[in-house]
Structure 1
Amino acid sequence: MTRDQIRLAADWWQDVVPSTLARDAIAGLVIAALLVPQGMAYAMLAGLPPEMGLYASLLPPALYAVFGSSRYLAVGPVAVISLMVATATATLGQRHGIDPMVAAPALAFMSGLILLIMGLLRLGFLTHFLSRPVLLGFMTAAAILIGLSQLPHALGLSVDARAPLGQIQEVFGQLGAVSMLTAGLTVGTILLILLIGGPLARRLRQLWPHAGSIVGRMGALFAVTFGIGLAMFTGLSDHLSQIGEIPRGLPRPEWPALEIVWILELSGMAFLISLVGLMESVSIGRGLAARDNEDVQPNRELLGIGLSNLGAGLSGAYPVTGGLSRTVVAKDAGAVTPLAGLFAALAVSLVLLFATPLLAELPRAVLAGIILLAIVQLLDVHAVQETWRYNRGDAAVIGITFFGVLSLGVEVGLIVGIMVSIGLLLWRISQPHVAMVGRVPGSEHFRNRERHAVETLTGVCFIRVDESLQFPNSRFLRDTVLETIRDNSDIQSIVLVCSAINDIDSTALATLEELDLSLKARGMVMHLSEVKGPVLDQLLKVDFPSKLSPGRIFFTNQDAFSALQENHSRCRSKKEIKS
């Protein structure tokens, strides 16, 4: 870690004063009230004992508080990462008989190392390869997988199948065996949380705006309290599946078991968990930071989330990242500095030291209800519909990722989505928009001849390329120019308008030289115009202007128009075509 990173990581300490300390302490208690039920629920989703979700709420948020870049981001277990952990540990268990409780900390440690290495190498830009359509498809499929995984706990059934279709078939085959008590408790949990977050919260906000907003987000805590009370005081515990004994006390720090076979098996999923976790943290942090004119830095987030996952691995937990609901609660509860995360970790520590006997009475149906309600946050139907209307290619990426995750599994499906997204990007780059442009009468502006009434020069064709010239599209440009001159025998000069070109790689440079020679062999001249400074610097290094001669590099399109007009006497105007 560099000295600058250490300085940046600690710059919020100067804002700590007695008044902010009190606000952070209160916010920390509120965050902990949400962390405890969520931690246990998400650990169950990950196929792990509930205490591992609580362990993931101790050291990770404390480390992020010191080294992260967001003042409000609440780090801990989240639904999507929990699903990915369940997939990875289940696969490792099937192939090598490894206990998920042993594999999960190793996965967290590996994810932390990957994030730290990416941070040291300043590879935060890699998150850009996880496009929004891929995330939409992945999140939507993940919501379905999470929902299916909770049906046994929500209905009191035993389901062995892992594939979505098999799970659905087993559930329908056992409808007669559904426990009405368990199903009723699941539905009651959902209704209770909705009641607290809806009508009750609105009523409280009218009386006490700030307190009402916080209470409205504490539905999960009330549901857990209700479930424990129901099991303890009604005699229904014998008819409900409960969490069971939770070890009292704090986890002992120890190195996770790392064997070469595990590393090879888990490396792919660890990398994907790192990417998804970083994307989720950055997007949540930026959304809140924008309101306060602050900045969330991806490379520093790599450091904060990376160290948080290392802490999770060392404390017997599993991979973590920033959670939306907890972060919003932290903001609403008045958190001023990351100390709120430290207070939250302290509160969870007290729960582990003194309240585990109570938590052991909690029915699993309550946690299933919390998870089922939480997956609503993963579904963004409006965004999918909007993407379909805006760009069918991106919509196809959503669909491919969605069905890939459902049919091929989380890891393979997500990789397929990323590869298709990158493939679509390369296809778009290889097919750049190319327009024949002319001068708008009475101005020095040049626009598409097919959209505007423009002036053109006889024998001169201005061609604008709306993309950087690189190896995927250089041949496309060459073929487009040659096709243009085949269709227009009167063309004597070609002017390539380079206003949208930010880079010309070596392959494209060779193609331009080849195109220039081909045009010269036909008695034509190629010119360039509006070449950006950095691009021109590169062309000068290989003395491209002299190779282009008698073609020239014009400063503006107007300069090219005026110079070439002297050689072509007649100017014509095209009628506007509305398209």
Structure 2
Amino acid sequence: MTSRWQAYRREALRDDLVAAFIVAILLIPQSLAYAILAGLPPQVGVYASLLPMAVYAALGSSSVNSVGPVAVVALLTAHAIAPVVAEGTPATAAALVLAAEAGLLLGAAALFRLDALAALLSTPVLHGFSTGAALAITLSQLPALLGSPARGFTAPELAASWWGSGVAGHALTAAFGIASLALLWWARGHARALLARWLAPQTASLLSRCAPLVVVALSIVLAWGLAADAKGLALVGTLPPLTLPLSLPPLDAALWWKLLPSAVPLALVTFVSSLAVSEGLALRRREQVDARRELTGLAAADLVAACSAGMPIGGSFSRGALNAEAGARTRMAGAWAAVLMALAMLLLTAPLAWLPRAVLAASIVIAVLGVVEWRAFAEAWRYSRPEFAVMVIVGALTLFVGSEAALTAGVALSIGLLLQRSASPHVARIGRVGDTEHYRNVERHEVQTFPGVLALRIDESLVFTNARRLVSAVDRQLAALPDTRRVVLLMSPVNAIDYSALEALRALHDLLLERGIRLDLTEVKGPVLDRLRAGAWDKWFRGRVFLSHHQGMLDAGGHGP
């Protein structure tokens, strides 16, 4: 242990501490802002940034992913706890239960190796949801930005609340909010280039990412100097002493049951979005990410958050990218960031009480709009109109209905598209390319075909969704070639075959046999052949199996050329 610590201190400690310091600086305003976004006291975001980050550092997979409060998870949390809060449950208690449920679900997924569930949220669904969530979050922050008492997390809720309140805004609040928004927007686009005139490019990039802290510090000084609280400016207010309370979340069975339907999509989004962050950053650093360890780390972080007065957590791309850019070497950078943030909160509680909530709202708006990839919609429109439609529908539902409805619809639509694509196996008639042993689609290439032999390539795995179409697909090809004496199926693209497909293959074999046509298979993969043998197909199959398609076409006993 001593030697490992000495090696770490010699090779990575300094770099990890520098990265941790920079991330901790950014995390202070973000943790406060995202807690408020979720409808929770600001200190809850601080608690969710301490022990969870340290636990992920111990159990997670990514060396730079920074877990803690994030915008999308905060929005999902707000949607989930709103109904029970309206019934009288304290928001903090509901958030603890939700974090515990998400942690348990992620832990179960890790235990049973269900990391493949990440595929339920396809890229179009994620793009649509993240865009809709960014717009919904932006709208939800407009009241805080302008000083209106209106509240809402969807466009209709916000419009109704704003209309009902009859308050357009508060001049001083709007001044702080709009000025902060403008400064942050300018800094995002120009601060790096300006600093690069005097500093090294990497240093300039790191300092430009700390622009939110500069805006926060300026706003605190101005709010204090103007005694803005007496003029109606909403402030963060006095934070309680940093005590890090440790206890189990409320063990109220009724509350757990009410929040469980919301915990499922929350856990799924947490895993998928965090895994995307980890994998994206790992590609830049030429590292590997273990999906199961990501599940384990996120599960532990959520459970610790539930036991330390926190809120549901996720992985942050902005903080992770900053961590990587700052030179973090190991996951210990996350643990050090938690320690440094705790020290900062012990020292900065008094100044942070003067932080205007409008400034936090501005920082949220800039953060969420900065990560939206608008070009994805244009690319999807050109590439696949159905997937573009999924993106638009999910985004619109997130903005106008709610995140749970959007995610449910997105998963259903993605499954529907998958079933539609796989329902009809692509069967291509193929022929020989010149004097080679290559065979290609007759409709795309100039090829030779063999009299009496119908060569077909099955371009899908054969499963229950498409198995019933196999016979009809082959029969359509036979209708154009009535003199066929042998059908040769090239099976190399087939990676799997289930029982439904086995029965369909038997039906095709028997139909051809009745017509005096022999069915042969070529290039059958080992696992597929194992499944066929397990299905006792040797009791009814009368054709032959060839290692190569060319060998099958040249079979002298099968009416080849």
TM range (shorter): over 0.9
Residue pair 1:527, 1:548 contacting (<8 A) in 2 also: no
**Structure 1 partner of 2:136:** 145
Instruction: Report the Cα offset of residue 340 of structure 1.
Output: 1.7
Within 1, Cα distance between the matches of 2:393 and 2:406? Answer: 8
**Structure 1 partner of 2:170:** 179
Instruction: Report the Cα offset of residue 563 of structure 1.
Output: 1.3
Residue pair 2:148, 2:167 contacting (<8 A) in 1 also: no
**Structure 1 partner of 2:482:** 489
> Residue type matched to 2:435 in 1?
G
> Residue type matched to 2:495 in 1?
N
Equivalent residue in structure 1 for 2:82, among 90, 94, 97 = 90
> Residue type matched to 2:77 in 1?
V
Instruction: Report the Cα offset of residue 73 of structure 1.
Output: 1.1
Q: Deviations over 1:98-124 (max 9, x none)?
A: 111111011111111111121122211
The structure-2 alpha-carbon separation of the partners of 1:34 and 1:373, relative to structure 1 and needing over 3 Å to count, comes to: same
Residue pair 1:32, 1:344 contacting (<8 A) in 2 also: yes
Instruction: Report the Cα offset of residue 401 of structure 1.
Output: 1.5
The structure-2 alpha-carbon separation of the partners of 1:74 and 1:184, relative to structure 1 and needing over 3 Å to count, comes to: same
For the aligned residue pairs, the C-alpha RMSD in angstroms reads: 2.1
Within 2, Cα distance between the matches of 1:53 and 1:195? Answer: 27
Instruction: Report the Cα offset of residue 161 of structure 1.
Output: 5.1
| Structure-to-structure mapping, 1:527-566, within 5 angstroms | 527-549=520-542, 551-563=543-555
Gaps of 5+ in 1: 1-6, 570-579
**Structure 2 partner of 1:575:** none
Farther-moved stretch of structure 1 (398-407 vs 425-434) = 398-407
Within 1, Cα distance between the matches of 2:538 and 2:430? Answer: 23
**Structure 2 partner of 1:332:** 325
Within 2, Cα distance between the matches of 1:13 and 1:554? Answer: 59
> Residue type matched to 1:44 in 2?
I
> Residue type matched to 2:135 in 1?
I
Within 1, Cα distance between the matches of 2:261 and 2:558? Answer: 63
Within 2, Cα distance between the matches of 1:73 and 1:13? Answer: 22
| Structure-to-structure mapping, 1:194-209, within 5 angstroms | 194-209=185-200
Instruction: Report the Cα offset of residue 546 of structure 1.
Output: 5.0
Q: Deviations over 1:511-564 (max 9, x none)?
A: 111111111112222111111112112222344245221x21122111121115
> Residue type matched to 2:64 in 1?
Y
**Structure 1 partner of 2:8:** 16
Number of aligned residue pairs: 558
Residue pair 2:32, 2:42 contacting (<8 A) in 1 also: yes
Equivalent residue in structure 1 for 2:17, among 15, 25, 43 = 25
Within 2, Cα distance between the matches of 1:207 and 1:351? Answer: 29
Q: Is it true that 1:49 corresponds to 2:41 in the alignment? A: yes
**Structure 2 partner of 1:106:** 97
Farther-moved stretch of structure 1 (138-147 vs 537-546) = 537-546
Instruction: Report the Cα offset of residue 37 of structure 1.
Output: 0.3
Within 1, Cα distance between the matches of 2:28 and 2:157? Answer: 32
| Structure-to-structure mapping, 1:247-266, within 5 angstroms | 247-266=240-259
| Structure-to-structure mapping, 1:357-396, within 5 angstroms | 357-396=350-389
Instruction: Report the Cα offset of residue 258 of structure 1.
Output: 2.8
Q: Secondary structure at the match of 1:207?
A: coil
Equivalent residue in structure 2 for 1:521, among 514, 517, 531 = 514
Within 1, Cα distance between the matches of 2:184 and 2:447? Answer: 63
The structure-2 alpha-carbon separation of the partners of 1:244 and 1:121, relative to structure 1 and needing over 3 Å to count, comes to: same
**Structure 1 partner of 2:123:** 132
**Structure 2 partner of 1:36:** 28
Within 1, Cα distance between the matches of 2:4 and 2:430? Answer: 53
**Structure 1 partner of 2:310:** 317
Q: Secondary structure at the match of 1:187?
A: helix
**Structure 2 partner of 1:297:** 290
**Structure 2 partner of 1:472:** 465
The structure-2 alpha-carbon separation of the partners of 1:332 and 1:371, relative to structure 1 and needing over 3 Å to count, comes to: same
> Residue type matched to 2:37 in 1?
L
Farther-moved stretch of structure 1 (538-547 vs 367-376) = 538-547
Percent identity of equivalent pairs: 38
**Structure 1 partner of 2:225:** 233
Residue pair 1:248, 1:354 contacting (<8 A) in 2 also: no
Within 2, Cα distance between the matches of 1:162 and 1:542? Answer: 54
**Structure 1 partner of 2:148:** 157
Instruction: Report the Cα offset of residue 251 of structure 1.
Output: 2.1
Within 2, Cα distance between the matches of 1:265 and 1:564? Answer: 69
Farther-moved stretch of structure 1 (229-238 vs 495-504) = 229-238
**Structure 1 partner of 2:559:** 567
Farther-moved stretch of structure 1 (260-269 vs 83-92) = 260-269
Within 2, Cα distance between the matches of 1:558 and 1:220? Answer: 66
Residue pair 2:151, 2:162 contacting (<8 A) in 1 also: no
Within 2, Cα distance between the matches of 1:287 and 1:124? Answer: 17
Within 2, Cα distance between the matches of 1:345 and 1:152? Answer: 31
**Structure 1 partner of 2:106:** 115
> Residue type matched to 1:235 in 2?
A
Instruction: Report the Cα offset of residue 14 of structure 1.
Output: 7.8
Within 2, Cα distance between the matches of 1:287 and 1:217? Answer: 19
The structure-2 alpha-carbon separation of the partners of 1:372 and 1:163, relative to structure 1 and needing over 3 Å to count, comes to: closer
Within 1, Cα distance between the matches of 2:216 and 2:60? Answer: 30
Instruction: Report the Cα offset of residue 88 of structure 1.
Output: 0.5
Within 1, Cα distance between the matches of 2:153 and 2:205? Answer: 39
The structure-2 alpha-carbon separation of the partners of 1:475 and 1:564, relative to structure 1 and needing over 3 Å to count, comes to: farther
Residue pair 2:239, 2:353 contacting (<8 A) in 1 also: yes
> Residue type matched to 2:332 in 1?
L
Within 1, Cα distance between the matches of 2:193 and 2:153? Answer: 41
> Residue type matched to 1:27 in 2?
A
Farther-moved stretch of structure 1 (560-569 vs 445-454) = 560-569
Instruction: Report the Cα offset of residue 488 of structure 1.
Output: 2.7
Q: Deviations over 1:191-231 (max 9, x none)?
A: 22234344332232343223212110011111111111111
Within 1, Cα distance between the matches of 2:74 and 2:107? Answer: 21
Instruction: Report the Cα offset of residue 408 of structure 1.
Output: 3.3
Q: Secondary structure at the match of 1:16?
A: helix
Equivalent residue in structure 2 for 1:345, among 334, 338, 342 = 338
The structure-2 alpha-carbon separation of the partners of 1:12 and 1:192, relative to structure 1 and needing over 3 Å to count, comes to: farther
Within 2, Cα distance between the matches of 1:61 and 1:166? Answer: 34
Q: Is it true that 1:70 corresponds to 2:62 in the alignment? A: yes
Within 2, Cα distance between the matches of 1:294 and 1:137? Answer: 28
Within 1, Cα distance between the matches of 2:187 and 2:473? Answer: 63
The structure-2 alpha-carbon separation of the partners of 1:118 and 1:15, relative to structure 1 and needing over 3 Å to count, comes to: farther
